Structure 1
Amino acid sequence: MSAINDWIDNEVKSNDVVLFMKGTPSFPQCGFSGQVVQILDYLGVEYKGVNVLASDDLRQGIKTYSQWPTIPQLYVKGEFVGGCDILREMFQAGELKSYFEERGFALEAVPAAG
């Protein structure tokens, strides 16, 4: 394993939700990353954004790590969920909210029980 692969693996496993994206959550630098940020913010999901533009090693490394050719990439509890198209489809179908809830996330849009 390369150093970048180890670093990515650590980020994926030590954060509940990680979005590898172009830019940052407050300043996305591509439309696809921006769409995913909007979806996650709308759902009230807390996540860590990792800017792949910060390093060529990281930008190539995440594609190798996931065997997925495009960015953004969303990981939830160590599992690769998908890129922009998959997340948008899941969101529009109402599946993304369920996906997070099934994994124990209390979404801000949903009142807490009790």
Structure 2
Amino acid sequence: MSDVQTWIKETVSTTPVVLFMKGTAQFPQCGFSGRAIQILKACGVENIATVNVLDDPEVRQGIKDFSNWPTVPQLYVKGEFVGGTDIMNEMFASGELKTLLDA
């Protein structure tokens, strides 16, 4: 396992809710990342841990390899990959995401 993969694994295992995104929670750099932040805030998540994949090309590619998911943002809750913005939207609409985050 590469250093980046090890770092990603540690990050998602030790941080209850982490969003790998383009930009930051304060300044999202793409619409999907912005929407993901809005959804998490609407679910009552106040301290959103984010990783800006634009800061490091190795992390940007590494997270895609780690999850076997081609796009960013990617949400992890309690070490488990939840999905990207579309999946977050669906889970938010059904109430499933809030339940997962509150658990």
- TM category (shorter chain) comes to over 0.9
Instruction: Give the Cα separation in 2 of the matches to 1:100 and 1:29.
Output: 24
**Contact 1:18–1:49 (8 Å) recurs in 2:** yes
- Amino acid aligned to 1:33: S
Q: Give the aligned CA root-mean-square deviation in angstroms.
A: 0.8
Return the alpha-carbon distance in structure 2 between the equivalents of residues 7 and 85 of structure 1.
26
Number of residue-to-residue matches in the alignment? 102
In the other structure, the counterpart of 2:55 is 54
Greater fraction helix: 2
Runs of 4+ deviating beyond 4 Å: none
Name which one, 1 or 2, has greater alpha-carbon Rg: 1
**1:1-114 equivalence runs, <5 A:** 1-45=1-45, 46-101=47-102, 103=103
Partners of 2:74 and 2:85 within 8 A in 1: yes
**Aligned residue in 2 for 1:112:** none
The alpha carbon displacement at 1:47 in A equals 2.3
When normalised by structure 2's length, the TM-score is: 0.95
Q: Quote the residue 1:107 is aligned against.
A: none
The structure with higher relative contact order (CA 8 Å, sep 6+) is 2
Q: Is contact 2:20–2:52 with CA below 8 Å preserved after alignment? A: yes
Name stretches of at least 5 consecutive residues in structure 2 with no aligned partner: none
* Structure 1 residue ranges without an equivalent (≥5): 104-114
Rounded Cα–Cα distance in structure 1 between residues aligned with 2:17 and 2:44: 12
Name the amino acid aligned to 1:25: A
Counterpart amino acid of 2:90? E
**Matched-pair identity in %:** 59
Could you tell me which amino acid in structure 2 is paired with residue 21 of structure 1?
M
Give the Cα separation in 1 of the matches to 2:39 and 2:89.
8
Task: Please report the TM-score for the alignment, with normalisation by the length of structure 1.
Answer: 0.86
